[in-house]
């Protein structure tokens, strides 16, 4: 089974702090994604990466950055956390071209910024 | 812009009732289609998927979905729901022009009353 793990299930940070969310997948997937999930808004894509050191902005990249130094690890960085970044953050990975792009999700990190 | 629309935000059913959740997507050529489910306290997981071939696809737990290309729809169905089907359901569409990322609908919360 594909496993996607996230470093924390719950996180509480203060406004202005730099926040790192880590995600690791164990199936050698090319693609990795970061979403935020908010009630009534579904999943909104923040960033995705289709290869090591490659990244593309999603729908809501403002206030976030990402890092992918190794194929299995994809980090989301909040440079200066704000209260409107309080949310559930989901990491996912998927296979590449020709394999349908079915995504496998981690358990999520519920981030609260106070 | 590519978009996915789920018609119902919240559906309440009694056990043994039939279920149909609507999903429509904007025109975008060749697509792969997915339904994901998130049970309370659990991570998102794949329910079923359509890549090609028979437009009626069957997934886990008795769910099925039908791809109707002329209507740009991929509705999810189950003939008889159970209390354990209480969850949030997301439709997702992968457009082959989209470099590996899928677009998600806003989600439908299903509550099944025992």
> Could you read off the pLDDT of A2-53 as tens digits, one per residue?
699 999 999 999 999 999 999 999 988 888 999 999 988 889 999 999 889 8
What are the residue boundaries of the structural domains of chain B, listed by start?
A: 4-113
Fold annotation for B4-113: Immunoglobulin-like (2.60.40)
Work out the burial of residue B43: count CB atoms within 10 Å of its CB; fewer than 13 is exposed, 13-18 middle, 19 or more buried. middle
Q: What is the DSSP letter of B84?
A: G
pLDDT of residue A67: 96
pLDDT at B29: 76
What residues of B are in contact with residue A103 (Cβ under 8 Å)? Answer: 34, 36, 46, 92, 102
Task: Output the pLDDT for position A2.
Answer: 64
d(CA B58, CA B49): 8
User: pLDDT averaged over chain A?
Assistant: 92
The predicted structure's pLDDT at residue B56: 96
From chain B, pick out residues whose CB is under 8 angstroms from the CB of A29.
none
Sorted by where each starts, the structural domains of chain A and their CATH numbers stand as: 4-8+16-94 (2.60.40.10)
Q: Answer for the pair B111, B11: CB distance below 8 angstroms, yes or no.
A: yes
Q: Is the pLDDT of residue B28 over 70?
A: no
């Amino acid at each position: 089974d594909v496993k996607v793990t996230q470093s924390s299930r719950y996180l509480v940070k203060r406004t202005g702090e730099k926040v790192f969310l880590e995600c690791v997948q164990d199936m050698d997937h090319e693609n990795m994604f970061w979403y935020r999930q908010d009630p009534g808004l579904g999943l909104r894509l923040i960033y995705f990466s289709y290869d090591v050191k490659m990244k593309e902005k999603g729908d809501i990249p403002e206030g976030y950055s990402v890092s992918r130094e190794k194929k299995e690890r994809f980090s989301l960085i909040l440079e200066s956390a704000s209260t409107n970044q309080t949310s559930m953050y989901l990491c996912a990975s998927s296979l590449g071209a020709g394999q349908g792009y079915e995504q496998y999700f981690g358990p999520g990190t519920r981030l609260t910024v106070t | 812009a590519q978009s996915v629309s789920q018609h119902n935000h919240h559906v309440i059913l009694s056990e043994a009732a039939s279920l149909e959740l609507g999903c429509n997507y904007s025109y975008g050529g060749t697509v792969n289609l997915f339904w994901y489910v998130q049970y309370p306290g659990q991570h998102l997981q794949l329910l079923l998927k359509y890549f090609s071939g028979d437009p009626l696809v069957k997934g886990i737990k008795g769910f099925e979905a039908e791809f109707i290309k002329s209507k740009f729809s991929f509705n999810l169905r189950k003939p008889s729901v159970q209390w354990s089907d209480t969850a949030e359901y997301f439709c997702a569409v992968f457009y082959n022009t989209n470099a590996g990322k899928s677009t998600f609908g806003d989600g439908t919360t299903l509550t099944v009353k025992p």
